[in-house]
Amino acid sequence: MGIVTALVRSTFLVNAVYAESAREHGLTAQQGQLLCVLMAQPYGMGELGAMLRLAKSSLTGLVDRTERNGLVQRAADPRDTRAVRVALTPRGAALVEGFYAETCRRIEGLADGLDAAERGTLAALLGRVLRDNEVPAVFREPEGGPATRRT
């Protein structure tokens, strides 16, 4: 299998797992991504748009829907009164912890057929592709650093 096919098919695989986990937590995949980004800290709308690679109108709709569900809240940016920052609500923080842990478990399970050295090589190569393409950190590293589970 070539690199293009492997990367595209792996994207579909990870997206399917992510969407299934989100659905089981009452979220859309995009809401799950938003909540995972906000786990680190509140962000301004411009920052979120860049991280999630969403147009302003799409991001506004996503934040509106997630806010109506009581998972995020907007607050005035103390540095710029014209801007708002989006943060998790206590309900959103509780929900995203479970969603995040379950999603990590499922995605890590995709590599169960690899031994520790193969997992390390795969992680290093994918990490390099992501760094070379300046992909924003939209999903934090699981607690304890890179996955070290052995098969």
Report the alpha-carbon angle 129-130-134, nearest 5.
Answer: 120
pLDDT at 59: 95
pTM equals 0.83
Q: How far apart are CA 151 and CA 111, in angstroms?
A: 9
pLDDT along the chain (151 residues), means of 10: 94 94 95 93 92 92 96 90 92 95 94 95 94 80 50 30
87, 72 Cβ separation under 8 angstroms: yes
- Fold exhibited by the domain 3-132: Arc Repressor Mutant, subunit A (1.10.10)
**Continuous segment of H or E residues that includes residue 61:** helix 56-68
- Please tell me what DSSP assigns to residue 114: S
Distances (CA, A) of 128 to 93, 143, 144: 30, 21, 20
Three-state DSSP state, 14: helix
Q: Say what the pLDDT of residue 144 is.
A: 52
| Collapsed DSSP state (helix, strand, coil) of residue 73 | strand
Contact yes or no for 52/59 (Cβ under 8 A) = yes
What is the residue type of 27?
L
State how far Cα 121 lies from the chain centre: 22
| Joined tokens for residue 62 | 């996503």
The whole-number pLDDT of residue 79 equals 83
Residue type, 124: A
